[in-house]
Amino acid sequence: MPDAYLTTKDLEETYKVSRATVKKWRDKGMPFYSIDGTIRFKEGEVEQWVKEQSKKDLAIF
């Protein structure tokens, strides 16, 4: 089954972070897609990225 696309708001709520934190994550390399002018994230890719970053850098949150 394909990954669901998440919004920035979805990530804020799921990970209990601010919009600015989601932007920092994008700047640090979290995969994202621009679909019809809006930013979207694939759920599985985000989970994997957060997991990898947590191993490298505990300061992602």
Band of the pLDDT at 57, cuts 50, 70, 90? low
Q: Are 11 and 42 within 8 A, CB to CB?
A: no
Alpha-carbon distance of 39 to 26, in angstroms, equals 10
Domains of the chain and any CATH numbers: 5-60 (1.10.10)
Residue 53 neighbours by CB under 8 Å, 6+ apart: 25, 28, 60
pLDDT band at 58 (very low <50, low <70, confident <90, very high): low
pLDDT-based confidence at residue 59 (cuts at 50, 70, 90): low
Q: What is the pLDDT of residues 14-47, one digit of tens each?
A: 999 999 999 999 999 999 999 999 999 999 999 9
| Structure tokens, 12 | 């804020």
Per the model's pLDDT, the better-predicted residue between 56 and 16 turns out to be 16
